[in-house]
């Protein structure tokens, strides 16, 4: 096989994988899911899903990738289970679908950065006309896909790892800075209270599966992104601790993003947390006016800074989303990397067109489907978000845990983990991972998948 490249250091891998995890999911989606799901109560369920269900699946994905040094589809065959390669194929398709709409939102973020630099604070109240201006958001989307493509085409250590090493520390410093700043604004405490004091009366089934979907989405699990990144890791690395760092970085940044966001929202609403804007518009509609009230000059700086930060976060995620189908085309179809990258990016951009036009421009895609029992139709982008993130990622996690526990088997998983972690055998971590992969993940992920599909579509 042609040289596939690899990460040059353990830190490089952890930063790249954390870069994949930390993205729009943490800064754009997490706060509005928290808002819709009753504040802190949602956060608690989300954290449980991350540590009990998602963390063990992450270890399994990295182990499969590292053992086989292949893309998700090829990995299952390389282990000798060709029948299971459908799980990898499903994951790759899911990744392509997510990237197709994720890039649209990333384009909005980048577009907002440009608007903020020019001091266009009124953009928040014009969100609707911004996202339906297809020529404009289409160009921003194209530019964003171009940045992603440039990084991925430079390969693993020279592109993905290098970008993560620059972007991740910058991102963390930016979020921490903004979180501290926002805590000194008037009404900040009301926002913090909403975020940190749980209201359990808001919890229902749909909140639970959004929390689960969010955990898988935010940790980039269930579609083979970490099988792919794992395939570029050397055998000496300790998968268990690397996965712990990645999970902690992701959860930590989501929590920090909440600390930054809710004071801003409270400030904007004069402390009223009952009627906060929720949904995709939360940060795009609310924040520009917050930045405006900070003052004309400082507002431009803070506002541009925020949307640049959001674009950076999105970029390390789009890079990982693109790498999954690219690694497949390179490994399985022997296409040269650069060619594969540009080709796949173009296809994904085209698949993203319904998401691009489904925010007001096209009547059909903006009112794509009406769920059972819902009074309003759902747009195409939200719909495929539900299908891919909330349904297929947990399904992928379910299949991966079944595969590892009952097909590939514990002995092989352990052997792979032990290659970089000698004292794993017999440790409490071993028992915990084994129990979770064998029982908790299959039961909870399987039943939630079925109930989600039944609840939404039947
Ligand atoms: N984890 C990313 C985010 O939170 C999204 C993502 C999902 C990236 C799946 C890769 C794979 O924004």
What is the position in ligand 1's atom list of the atom closest to the CA of 318? 8
Q: Does ipTM top 0.95?
A: yes
Q: 422 alpha carbon to ligand 1 midpoint, in Å?
A: 31
Ligand 1 binding pocket mutation candidate from 18, 20, 392 (most atoms within 8 A of CB): 20
Q: Is residue 164 part of a domain?
A: yes
What is the position in ligand 1's atom list of the atom closest to the CA of 26? 4
Q: Is 317 in the pocket of ligand 1 (CB under 6 A)?
A: yes
Q: 104 alpha carbon to ligand 1 midpoint, in Å?
A: 14
Measure CA of the first residue to CA of the last residue in the chain; give whole Å: 46
> Quick one: pLDDT at residue 290?
84
Q: Is residue 3 part of a domain?
A: no
Q: Is 393 in the pocket of ligand 1 (CB under 6 A)?
A: no
Q: Is residue 2 part of a domain?
A: no
Q: Is residue 4 part of a domain?
A: no
Q: Is 220 in the pocket of ligand 1 (CB under 6 A)?
A: yes
Q: What is the rounded distance in angstroms from the CA atom of residue 403 to the CA atom of residue 401? A: 5
> Quick one: pLDDT at residue 450?
87
- With a CB cutoff of 8 Å and minimum separation 6, the contacts of 339 are none
Q: What is the rounded distance in angstroms from the CA atom of residue 163 to the CA atom of residue 152? A: 10
What is the position in ligand 1's atom list of the atom closest to the CA of 23? 12
> Quick one: pLDDT at residue 408?
97
Q: 8 alpha carbon to ligand 1 midpoint, in Å?
A: 23
Token digits of residue 6: 């690899």
> Quick one: pLDDT at residue 1?
45
pLDDT of the chain, 458 residues: tens digit per residue: 446 889 999 999 999 999 999 999 999 889 888 888 878 889 999 999 999 999 999 999 999 999 999 999 999 999 999 999 999 999 999 999 999 999 999 999 999 999 999 999 999 999 999 999 999 999 999 999 999 999 999 999 999 999 999 999 988 988 898 899 999 999 999 999 988 888 888 888 878 888 888 999 999 999 999 999 999 999 899 999 999 999 999 999 999 999 998 998 898 888 888 777 666 777 898 889 889 988 889 999 989 989 998 999 999 999 999 999 999 999 999 999 999 999 999 999 999 999 999 999 999 999 999 888 888 999 999 999 888 987 899 899 999 999 999 999 999 999 999 999 999 999 999 999 999 999 999 999 998 888 877 777 66
Q: Is 21 in the pocket of ligand 1 (CB under 6 A)?
A: yes
Whole-model pTM: value is: 0.94
Residue whose C-alpha is closest to residue 237's, from 425, 53, 63, 18:
63
> Quick one: pLDDT at residue 277?
66
Q: Is residue 244 part of a domain?
A: yes
Q: Is residue 255 part of a domain?
A: yes
Q: Is 25 in the pocket of ligand 1 (CB under 6 A)?
A: yes
Between the alpha carbon of residue 156 and those of residues 80, 141, 184, 307, 457, the distances in Å are 26, 23, 41, 26, 40
Q: Is 65 in the pocket of ligand 1 (CB under 6 A)?
A: no
What is the number of structural domains in the chain?
1
* CB 146, CB 347: distance < 8 Å: no
Residue of the nearest CA to atom 9 in ligand 1?
220
> Quick one: pLDDT at residue 441?
95
Helix, strand or coil for residue 39? strand
> Quick one: pLDDT at residue 275?
72
Residue of the nearest CA to atom 6 in ligand 1?
220
Q: What is the rounded distance in angstroms from the CA atom of residue 302 to the CA atom of residue 295? A: 10
Residue of the nearest CA to atom 10 in ligand 1?
220
Q: 22 alpha carbon to ligand 1 midpoint, in Å?
A: 7
Q: Is residue 1 part of a domain?
A: no
CATH number where 126 lies: 1.10.4160
Q: Is residue 118 part of a domain?
A: yes
Q: Is 322 in the pocket of ligand 1 (CB under 6 A)?
A: no
Q: Is 152 in the pocket of ligand 1 (CB under 6 A)?
A: no
Domain that holds residue 66: 10-457
Helix, strand or coil for residue 4? coil
């Amino acid at each position: 096989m042609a040289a596939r490249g690899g990460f040059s250091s353990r830190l490089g891998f952890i930063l790249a994988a954390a870069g994949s995890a930390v993205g729009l999911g943490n800064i754009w989606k997490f706060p509005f899911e928290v808002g819709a799901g009753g504040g802190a109560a949602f956060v608690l369920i989300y954290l449980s899903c991350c540590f009990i269900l998602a963390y063990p699946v992450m270890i399994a994905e990295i182990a499969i990738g590292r053992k086989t040094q292949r893309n998700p589809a090829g990995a299952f065959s390389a282990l000798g289970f060709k029948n299971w390669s459908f799980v990898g194929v499903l994951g790759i398709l899911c990744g392509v679908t997510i990237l197709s709409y994720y890039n649209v939102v990333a384009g909005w973020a980048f577009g907002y950065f440009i608007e903020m630099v020019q001091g266009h604070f009124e953009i928040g109240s014009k969100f609707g006309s911004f996202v339906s201006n297809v020529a404009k958001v289409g160009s921003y989307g194209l530019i964003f896909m171009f940045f992603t493509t440039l990084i991925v085409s430079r390969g693993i250590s020279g592109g993905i790892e290098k970008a993560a090493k620059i972007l991740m520390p910058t991102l963390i410093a930016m979020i921490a800075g903004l979180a501290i700043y926002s805590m000194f604004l008037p009404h900040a405490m009301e926002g913090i209270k909403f975020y940190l004091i749980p209201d359990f009366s808001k919890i229902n089934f749909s909140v639970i599966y959004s929390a689960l979907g969010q955990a898988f989405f935010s940790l980039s699990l269930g579609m083979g992104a970490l099988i792919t990144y794992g395939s570029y890791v050397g055998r000496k690395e300790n998968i268990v601790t690397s996965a712990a760092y990645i999970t902690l970085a992701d959860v930590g940044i989501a929590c920090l993003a909440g600390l930054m966001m809710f004071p801003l929202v409270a400030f904007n609403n004069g402390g009223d947390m009952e009627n906060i804007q929720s949904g995709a518009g939360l940060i795009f509609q609310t924040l520009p006016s917050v930045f405006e009230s900070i003052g004309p000059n400082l507002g431009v700086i803070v506002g541009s800074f925020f949307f640049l930060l959001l674009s950076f976060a999105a970029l390390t995620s789009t890079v990982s989303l693109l790498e999954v189908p690219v690694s497949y085309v390179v490994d399985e179809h022997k296409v040269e990397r650069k060619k594969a990258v540009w080709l796949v990016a173009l296809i994904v951009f085209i698949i993203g067109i319904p998401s691009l036009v489904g925010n007001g421009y096209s009547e059909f895609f903006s009112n794509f489907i009406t769920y059972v029992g819902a009074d309003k139709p759902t747009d195409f982008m939200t719909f495929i978000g539900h299908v891919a993130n909330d349904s297929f990622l947990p399904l992928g996690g379910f299949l991966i845990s079944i595969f590892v526990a009952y097909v590939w088997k514990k002995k092989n998983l352990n052997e792979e983990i032990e290659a970089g972690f000698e004292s794993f055998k017999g440790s409490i971590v071993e028992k915990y991972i084994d129990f979770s992969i064998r029982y908790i993940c299959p039961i909870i992920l399987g039943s939630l998948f079925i109930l989600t599909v039944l609840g939404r579509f039947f």
